[in-house]
Amino acid sequence: MSLEKARPWTRREFLWATVKWSAGVGLATAAYGGFSERTHVVVRRVDVPLERLPDAFDGFTIAQLSDLHYHPLFSANVIRKAVELVEGLAPDLVALTGDFVTVPELRNYDRAAAEKAVPCAELLAPLKPKLGTFAVLGNHDTHTDPGLVTEALSGRGIRVLRNEAAPVERDGARIWLAGVGDVLTGFARLDATLEPLPPSESVVLLAHEPDFADVSARRGVDLQLSGHSHGGQVSLPLLGPVVLPELARKYPRGLRKVGRTALYTNVGLGTIIVPIRVLAPPEVTLLRLRVSRAGS
């Protein structure tokens, strides 16, 4: 029995095989991102040292959720899982950093889209941390109907900070939780928000867009919590995020130091355009504040 010598591939055959292989990998990746990673909520625990933090707040915990983008099919269960995880973590405070709804493509100020804030807020209602749940609005919320989104959240016990600050007290000490209006849409008023606060006291700022840290760092904010980036939603090995939105390109994820300001960018829970996440799973962040002495 003789064996026939294998015929080498022609250029056309090689190219066609490459296309089919690439398409197969792409479909497999999309399936993984769409049906597995998109629904697998991870908990990230992060210690954040702050020089001006009062000793009484050492170990204080903040659970952060962001970019929920409520959709009955694609994000409702993810939000529900995230809330259950936060309840199990028992944080001192919960911070929600915007985009509870999704603005339709090519349309602004869409009341029907804003009404999705109602079922979203209902899913968030079980959150009952010791010192409250606070939120700021994102660009999608502001581009639909910010008043309606605010009303939905406030009606479920969530305080929406719109260019204002609230004192947070613990064992006789105090820090400030501040929140600004959405930066991209031009509603952030940081100077007005910080002006009434004692300059020596520590400030945690909620601001939807992370690159705003370049501004807040110049105003002495101790910690900024943001979202907006989705971590790119699809991130490639070695290359990083495929697409990042405006004002989330410098600081797209994780803990960073911007001057003397600590910044944490949460990659969010929901999705937009396509319900896919690759190497950017939905995230619950538990931030633990720690006292850091200057020079230590």
pLDDT tens per residue across span 64-111: 999 999 999 999 999 999 999 999 999 999 999 999 999 987 566 778
Parallel, antiparallel, or unpaired: how do β-strands 42-50 and 283-291 relate? parallel
Q: Is residue 214 part of a domain?
A: yes
Percent of the chain with pLDDT over 70: 86
What is the model's pLDDT at position 22? 46
State how far the Cα of 234 lies from the Cα of 223, in Å rounded to an integer: 27
CB 281 within 8 A of CB 43: no
Q: Is residue 8 part of a domain?
A: no
What DSSP letter does each residue of 17-58 carry, written as one string? HHHHHHHHHHHHHHHHHHHTGGG--EEEEEEEEETT--GGGT
Q: Is residue 3 part of a domain?
A: no
CATH code for position 241: 3.60.21.10
What three-state secondary structure class fits 273? coil
Residues contacting residue 39 through CB under 8 Å, at least 6 positions apart: 77, 78, 81, 282
Number of domains present in the structure of the chain = 1
State how far the Cα of 91 lies from the Cα of 77, in Å rounded to an integer: 21
Residues contacting residue 202 through CB under 8 Å, at least 6 positions apart: 50, 52, 53, 54, 57, 175, 176, 222
Q: Is residue 2 part of a domain?
A: no
State how far the Cα of 37 lies from the Cα of 52, in Å rounded to an integer: 38
- Quick check: 31 pLDDT over 60? no
State how far the Cα of 158 lies from the Cα of 133, in Å rounded to an integer: 5
State how far the Cα of 240 lies from the Cα of 250, in Å rounded to an integer: 13
Instruction: Take residue 90 and report the two structure tokens written for it.
Output: 């028992």
Q: Kindly report the number of other CB atoms within 10 A of residue 67's CB atom.
A: 29
pLDDT tens per residue across span 101-159: 999 875 667 788 999 999 999 999 999 999 999 999 999 999 999 999 999 999 999 99
Taking Cα atoms as reference points, which of 98, 113, 121 lies closest to residue 145?
Answer: 113
- Quick check: 1 pLDDT over 70? no
Cα of first residue to Cα of last residue in the chain, in angstroms, is: 79
Instruction: Take residue 272 and report the two structure tokens written for it.
Output: 């937009």
Q: Is residue 4 part of a domain?
A: no
- The residues facing 47 across adjacent strands are 288
Bigger pLDDT: 208 vs 278: 208
Quickly state the pLDDT bin for 5 (edges 50, 70, 90): very low
Quickly state the pLDDT bin for 294 (edges 50, 70, 90): low
Q: Is residue 107 part of a domain?
A: yes
What three-state secondary structure class fits 170? strand
State how far the Cα of 287 lies from the Cα of 94, in Å rounded to an integer: 10
Q: Is residue 159 part of a domain?
A: yes
Domain that holds residue 231: 13-291
Q: Is residue 280 part of a domain?
A: yes
